[in-house]
Structure 1
Amino acid sequence: MTRPVAAYTDIVDLDPAPGVALLEQSGFEVRILDDGSPADIIAQAADAQALLIGYAPVTAQVIEALPRLRVVATQSAGVDTVDVAACAAHGVEVMNVPGAATEEVASHALAMTLSLLRGLPMLDREVRAGRWDGSRERLHRLSEVTVGVLGLGRIGRAYASAVRPLVDRVVAYDPLASPPPGVEAMSLDEVVAAATVLSLHLPLTEKTRHLLDRDRLGAMPAGSFVVNVARGALIDSEALREALDSGHITAAALDVLEHEPPRPNDPLVAHPRTVVTPHAAYLSPASARDYVVLQARNVVTFFAERANHEHDTASFSASPTRQETSS
């Protein structure tokens, strides 16, 4: 009997070995492709039933070229590199890993928030430049700060709960979720207008792309801060650069950018009022293990449930004949 094929389209920065082992133990033939481009996937995985992706684009062209494909498993909470509509049209399931690094990403956002409010990155640069004077930075007393949270999924809720005891007020917007205890629900524009620090925890969709645009950045309080550990395209990069240049936004901490890795001379990476980390908020030894194992387990579980469903359907279809025989 031919084993089902599971193909890793691209290896980013996590060791796939635990996932490969789990898949092989479950009866899959596992392939690791060369570069994860659409052409590479079509050429090397035309017979694949499962794709396990890092950042590889799974386009409609790819889906149409893989007639046996049944599931696409991401190695992240996001699915924005997958043409979900095309998958649905071809009966392909899309599975993500929503909880593997909740603690890590929420902690990263919290660390960024505190470092901005106390001016740590800018003060460090001042000292290294030979200036022993912190009076030029606008430093904040935490008990007088309002933190705004956009998005109350697992990470947004964890971040809001973690920052709440440290600051005066936490306000949040999410049209689909209620806030955790001690956090006030507001409209999107009310949160933007109230926040000393605005932290983004939303998925990237056509509706949320450039959600923080020139107008919304302008509506934030003068001297406020932006933290983004979600998706770079939630923010209009040019508008943010302008707001930083003018001083309306004091500083921004970004774990994600619109273009990753950044283009040469990216103005936000080079800006003296930004802190940029390389899309690393999710990383720890524990999360690295969980992302890989849970991604592979999603594939194994999908095919096990599919096999059980087919077995149950076959049994159900046969049952009237057995009943007629016994009656």
Structure 2
Amino acid sequence: MRVLVTDAEYGSLDLEADVLGAAGHELLTARCRTAADVIGAAQDVDAVIVQYAPISAEVLAALPRLRLVSRYGVGVDVVDLEAARARGVWVCNVPDYGTVEVALHAVAMLSALLRNLAGHGRHVREGRWDYRLGGPLRRPGGLTLGVVGLGRIGRMTMERAAPWFGDVVGHDPYLPDAAWPDGVERLGLEDLFARSHAVTLHLPLTAETQGLVGPDLLARMPAGSYLVNTARGGLVQPDAVLQALEDGRLAGVALDVLPEEPPPAGHALLGHPGALVTPHVAWYSQESEVELRRTAAENVVVWARTGRPVHWVVEGR
């Protein structure tokens, strides 16, 4: 097999080369950003491993030899799944490489907001030693936590954070009642935002969830609430979040992911004292990166050997 890594931010790809080479496959590399880049680089390859490059319907139509797409990560929103399904192209992901890391990051961000750690640290660095400068802090036992998406990461985040809060409510239209966690009240999305003093997002980016958290949902939250997003950047409208910070609807927001990465220089959200932004690092540990890269390559190896990859999202033919 000829296998192309369309794009990756990991430096050397020796790990992928070792996994594929041991099975007798050839590894090619590129630095694709656009659909045209992928089309130009992926002629005559059997499989691609992709991080952020778009695998659109146009790309799939232009690459008739391509039979499998393996994504570095859980989300597969860079791939046109319907077009892949129509062409019989397998689409694979790595479903659980960073569950602990992302849940830990979400809980850490939530904790930092509740205690205004960024604000207090900034004041100390400025030479001001006064706990009152950070504004009023509330005891979380009197607050409600809202968890949107109760898959692996959302459930782990909920389980770690729930003991701090007075109530926990959740929203996940795909989780059956039989699997719903005990002690979590099930609500519709609008009701969850209206009830929650802190909301953490753990859901995929789809056509339905694109820009989900905007002015309407934010306006439903109690004044002085908090929002955490370690899932997908496109779930949240940054300008709406900025406005909610300015008008006091949000006391703080913590974002590990943004619709555009890196964000435009000088965006007002980046300099706002109520915003904590990290560089899409929630997934990362040394161990999770190795697992992610190895599994993305093993998807190709197992498919080539057996005709069926282990971690598939779209079944090919």
User: 1:7 and 1:296 mapped to 2: Cα distance?
Assistant: 10
What's the offset of the Cα at 1:140?
2.2
What's the offset of the Cα at 1:15?
4.8
User: 2:21 and 2:33 mapped to 1: Cα distance?
Assistant: 21
What's the offset of the Cα at 1:162?
1.2
What's the offset of the Cα at 1:206?
1.2
Structure 1 residue 129 and structure 2 residue 156: aligned? no
Amino acid at match of 1:252: V
RMSD: 1.6
Amino acid at match of 1:279: H
User: 1:205 and 1:47 mapped to 2: Cα distance?
Assistant: 30
State percent identity of aligned pairs. Answer: 41
Give the corresponding residue for 2:117: 120
Deviation per residue, 1:120-140 (Å, 9 max, x gap): 111112222332222242212
Give the corresponding residue for 1:30: 27
Within the candidate set 51, 68, 73, 2:70 is matched to 73
The SS at the match of 2:45 is coil
User: 1:163 and 1:69 mapped to 2: Cα distance?
Assistant: 44
Instruction: Check 1:307–1:205 CA distance in 2 against 1; reply closer, same or farther (3 A cut).
Output: closer
Give the corresponding residue for 1:288: 289
Amino acid at match of 1:148: G
Amino acid at match of 2:123: E
The SS at the match of 1:62 is helix
Give the corresponding residue for 2:147: 149
Deviation per residue, 1:192-230 (Å, 9 max, x gap): 111111000111111111211101101001100000001
Amino acid at match of 1:174: D
The SS at the match of 2:120 is helix
Gaps of 5+ in 2: 310-317
The one of the two structures with greater contact order (alpha-carbon pairs below 8 A, sep at least 6) is 2
Structure 1 residue 163 and structure 2 residue 164: aligned? no
Q: Which has the larger radius of gyration?
A: 1
8 Å CA contact retained: 1:6, 1:30? yes
The SS at the match of 1:199 is strand
8 Å CA contact retained: 2:145, 2:197? yes
User: 1:155 and 1:99 mapped to 2: Cα distance?
Assistant: 9
Give the corresponding residue for 2:302: 301
Gaps of 5+ in 1: 309-327
What's the offset of the Cα at 1:113?
0.4
Deviation per residue, 1:262-297 (Å, 9 max, x gap): 111122212221000000000001100110011111
Q: Which moved more, 1:13-22 or 1:86-95?
A: 13-22
Structure 1 residue 60 and structure 2 residue 48: aligned? no
What's the offset of the Cα at 1:13?
3.2
User: 2:181 and 2:215 mapped to 1: Cα distance?
Assistant: 30
Give the corresponding residue for 2:313: none
What's the offset of the Cα at 1:151?
0.5
Give the corresponding residue for 1:88: 85
User: 1:83 and 1:115 mapped to 2: Cα distance?
Assistant: 37
User: 2:136 and 2:180 mapped to 1: Cα distance?
Assistant: 30
8 Å CA contact retained: 2:170, 2:187? yes
8 Å CA contact retained: 1:161, 1:180? no
> Normalised by the size of structure 1, how large is the TM-score?
0.89
User: 1:225 and 1:40 mapped to 2: Cα distance?
Assistant: 40
Give the corresponding residue for 2:186: 185
Structure 1 residue 7 and structure 2 residue 7: aligned? no
8 Å CA contact retained: 2:302, 2:308? no
User: 1:257 and 1:183 mapped to 2: Cα distance?
Assistant: 28
Give the corresponding residue for 2:271: 270
User: 2:84 and 2:308 mapped to 1: Cα distance?
Assistant: 20
Q: Which moved more, 1:47-56 or 1:19-28?
A: 19-28
What's the offset of the Cα at 1:61?
1.8
Amino acid at match of 1:202: L
Deviation per residue, 1:248-273 (Å, 9 max, x gap): 10010000111111111122212221
User: 1:180 and 1:89 mapped to 2: Cα distance?
Assistant: 36
8 Å CA contact retained: 1:164, 1:183? no
The SS at the match of 1:135 is helix
Amino acid at match of 2:192: V
8 Å CA contact retained: 1:80, 1:205? yes
Give the corresponding residue for 1:312: none
Amino acid at match of 1:87: A
User: 1:266 and 1:135 mapped to 2: Cα distance?
Assistant: 28
Q: Which moved more, 1:121-130 or 1:44-53?
A: 121-130
